[in-house]
A and B are shown apart, each in its own frame.
Chain A
Amino acid sequence: MYNLLIGGAAGQGIDTTSAILEKILKRAGYSVFTCRDFMSRIRGGHNFYLMRFGEKEVISHSYNLDGIIAMDEETINIHSNELKKDGFILCDTSIEIEDSRILKIAMEDIAKKLGNIRVSGSIAIGAVLKLFNEDYSNIEEVLQSFLDERYVDINLKAVKAGYDSIETRYPRLKGRFDDWMLLSGSNAIALGAIAAGIKFYSAYPMSPATPIMGYLATKGRDCGIVVEQAEDEIAAINMAIGASYAGARSMTATSGGGFSLMVEALGLSGMAEIPLVVVNMQRPGPATGLPTRTEQGDLKFMISASQGEFPRMVIALRTHKDAFYQTVRAFNLAEKYQIPVILLGDQYLGDASATVEPYEINSIETEYSNSEYSNEYLRYKYTKSGVSPRLIPMKSKNLVTIDSDEHDETGKITESAKVRVQMMDKRMKKLILIEQELHEPQFLGAVDYDILLIGWGSTYGPISEAIELLNSKKSKKYAALIFGDIFPLPQKLLIEKSKKAKQIINIEQNATGQLAGLIREYTGIICSKSILKYDGRQITGEEIVKRIKGGI
């Protein structure tokens, strides 16, 4: 496995360089995982990508660098201490830093000679391919998919020039991932929505959720999806609820700040029993926080957002596989139980790209009931399960009345104490069925463990790497439980696995250990130690190991 860092200022084209390089590596058979670390600005500053690739499946990042591709001096200043002793730094000849690991290529001069200074990145790509003993048979096709036709030729020449300017250093690893998909977590969520038959998407731009809207907007026309940029998040969620009421599968996505504006309408979905999928791509808060960074600070907010009590489901996205399949599942559960389902992702997952096995689509059920009631149709009919038959306006002669006020079976406002209790019970009863749908957390590690690590969402990758590292040494035995479905909290496996553990450590990207709190509230199980990180950067497997070994 190799770890690269590609760094430069905003506007230097490192986005395109990384996207092209990771695609070529994937097509050469590698499993690739690339995460983005970037500042909230359009020009300047310091941005970088951590690109990891190997012959085994890669699901997290690492700062233990084999190589740095530096498009500016600052990249070297900041990151050279993360570079292995035998690593390399690829940079332009104009850079004056002294380091025995530096490999200089006259990228700017070559680019100028080729006639476009902006092809420096492609020269670097050529050099990296040569260093890792790759040929460039895939390059033309990849360049065509990323670049305007006019620029393909010159970039091809640039790749060739970079390739010829350096010697091979690393053996080629043989991977089996050439026919897997390579995509960002945001695109995986968007694809999941498409596969689930989404018809309407409304949102207000907010990092790091905007790429979901970006992908859907690009594909909307082909797929028959209306994507509407709302005037604010309140409009976005109310539009989605209106469209869902009228029979269109609908979703909205935002980050914590935008979600804060959506809170009242989340309750409307719960009260009026209108299916809704809401995605919260977390970033550090409160308020504006760190717009382009990552955190898991919204768990307790998600499970309690909105006044009053109503059934909901919160699903944390762990991987790029989850991002797709759980999105499909969220639509189905929202419709089945007529509830809001919240997908809880974060910047790390959303912006990182990963190699995943091609998704499979099962037949989806988007058909609503077209039955007609000869007597009065009761939108909120009391039933054994709590789920009332849902009709779509104009699909029958029956009238569909929904209400955000407490209402009777017909949907009319009521203040009756008796009806209030009956309706609350009817809604809350749906939780019994929802609890039967829960997926237990993923169990990883040694069967005969002493220490149980507990995490949720996007720390899945780093925690599973930590488990591998910890269990490779003989002395200790580690296991982990990583939650996807998180609210209602699945308890079965947690109770079973915690009994055997001598110590339980929760690992979370927040300051208060929100999952540990939730576990304690619902099960009484106590995590005796915590590894918490809230600096806006995703924890690595290596950091987890270091903190465990260092006494946390």
Chain B
Amino acid sequence: MAKFHTFDTAWCPGCGNFSILECLKTALEELKKDPSEVLLVAGIGQAAKIPQYINANAFCGLHGRALPAATGAKIANEKLTVIVSTGDGDSYGEGGNHFLHNIRRNIDIAHFVHDNQVYGLTKGQASPTSDEGLVTSIQPEGNVNTPLNPLLLAIAAGAGFVARGFTGKKEHLVSLMKQAIGYKGYALVDIMQPCVSFNKTNTYAWYNERVYMLDENYDSSDKLLAIKKAMEFTDKIPIGVIFKEEKPSFNEKNSVLKDSKPLIDRKYDQTITSRLFKEFI
């Protein structure tokens, strides 16, 4: 079996993206995936460069549009392990509408959001998850918009797998990634990741002071409890699988896709076309 390996990156030293890349590689290796069966999809941003830095199939598409492209690919070939790995601006800002509707679709994709609460590639503007008051070059008086709570939104919209990780807890993050990839349906892992260049508020120290792991007694199938946990983002921030429930995935619900081989492997049947012609005579 071919091995995964990573390449030189264009990220800033100390960036949380390094941990995510390392964890992704470990997760794929531990799951015994072959690079040729993995498709990494991303939009645009610093996080979105990740498919360029590891050997797998890579679709580096448009800003905000990773999810729809990933959806199309998974519909075409359900054997592909499809992972969207991209930033918070890409996922929740430019791609907000797709985020919402892919939860409803429940297509079997793992979505890793590198959530550093700030825009990196465009040099430090507020992102959808930026704290209120975050001062940037564009928000000189501080961000006045309420930060989006992606976990709460995902649970409310009906997502079946909602988790939060932290780049400072790599082993834990690897475990979350593996669970998300294994989950049959849309799986969100929001990964808290410091931006050493542009976010001077949500630093490693800031996260380390607040982050705690959900313990074994936590019941991730309890939706009301999960909503409560998702809302916990103050002096304490829980990480782990916040909510999980089994539900049919898009491919299982779709009458063309279920119980059959991948779409791209099906032979074209000319007799059907000829029969359709006759209906118009």
Kindly state whether residue A286 has any CB partner on chain B within 8 Å.
no
B 73-109 contacts with A by CB, 8 A? 73-77, 79-80, 97-98, 100-101
Which residues from chain B contact A397 at a C-beta distance below 8 Å?
Answer: 2, 34, 36
With A235-B97, A238-B62 as known contacts, state yes or no: A361 contacts B77, CB within 8 Å.
no
| B52 near A413: Cβ-Cβ < 8 Å | yes
In the assembled complex, the Cα of A373 lies from the Cα of B13 at a distance in Å of 36
Q: Which residue of B lies closest to A235 (CB)?
A: B68
**Residue among A183, A199, A225, A361 making CB contact with B274, cutoff 8 Å:** A361
Kindly state whether residue B37 has any CB partner on chain A within 8 Å.
yes
B: residues with CB less than 8 A from A are 2, 34-37, 39, 41, 44, 49, 51-52, 55-62, 65, 67-77, 79-80, 97-98, 100-101, 254-257, 260, 263-264, 266, 268-270, 272-274, 276-277, 280-281
Q: Give min CB distance, B275 to chain A, whole Å.
A: 8
| A199 near B68: Cβ-Cβ < 8 Å | no
Most chain B CB neighbours (cut-off 10 Å) among A199, A220, A359: A199
Q: Give min CB distance, A171 to chain B, whole Å.
A: 25
In the assembled complex, the Cα of A466 lies from the Cα of B127 at a distance in Å of 60
Main SS at interface, chain A: mixed
| B72 near A240: Cβ-Cβ < 8 Å | yes
Task: Please count the residue pairs between chain A and chain B whose beta carbons lie under 8 angstroms apart in the complex.
Answer: 185
A-B contact pairs, 18 of them (CB 8 A): A200-B76, A226-B75, A228-B71, A231-B97, A243-B72, A245-B59, A245-B69, A248-B264, A268-B62, A272-B61, A358-B277, A393-B36, A394-B36, A394-B77, A394-B80, A397-B36, A402-B60, A403-B58
**Residue among A228, A235, A359 making CB contact with B98, cutoff 8 Å:** A235
| B60 near A405: Cβ-Cβ < 8 Å | yes
| A404 near B77: Cβ-Cβ < 8 Å | no
**Residue among B37, B72, B272, B277 making CB contact with A239, cutoff 8 Å:** B72
Q: Give min CB distance, B53 to chain A, whole Å.
A: 10
**Residue among A199, A238, A364, A400 making CB contact with B266, cutoff 8 Å:** A199
**Residue among A220, A222, A246, A364 making CB contact with B72, cutoff 8 Å:** A246
Q: Give min CB distance, B73 to chain A, whole Å.
A: 4
Most chain B CB neighbours (cut-off 10 Å) among A236, A247, A272: A247
**Residue among B77, B100, B280 making CB contact with A187, cutoff 8 Å:** B280
In the assembled complex, the Cα of A393 lies from the Cα of B65 at a distance in Å of 20
Given contacts A235-B98, A247-B264, A405-B44, 8 further A-B contacts (CB under 8 A): A187-B280, A194-B273, A223-B276, A224-B269, A241-B61, A242-B73, A358-B281, A403-B52
In the assembled complex, the Cα of A399 lies from the Cα of B57 at a distance in Å of 5
Which residues from chain B contact A236 at a C-beta distance below 8 Å?
Answer: 68
Kindly state whether residue A264 has any CB partner on chain B within 8 Å.
yes
Which residues from chain A contact B73 at a C-beta distance below 8 Å?
Answer: 242-243, 245-246, 393
Kindly state whether residue A275 has any CB partner on chain B within 8 Å.
no
Q: Mark A192-224, 1 if CB is under 8 A from B, else 0.
A: 001101011010000000000000000111111
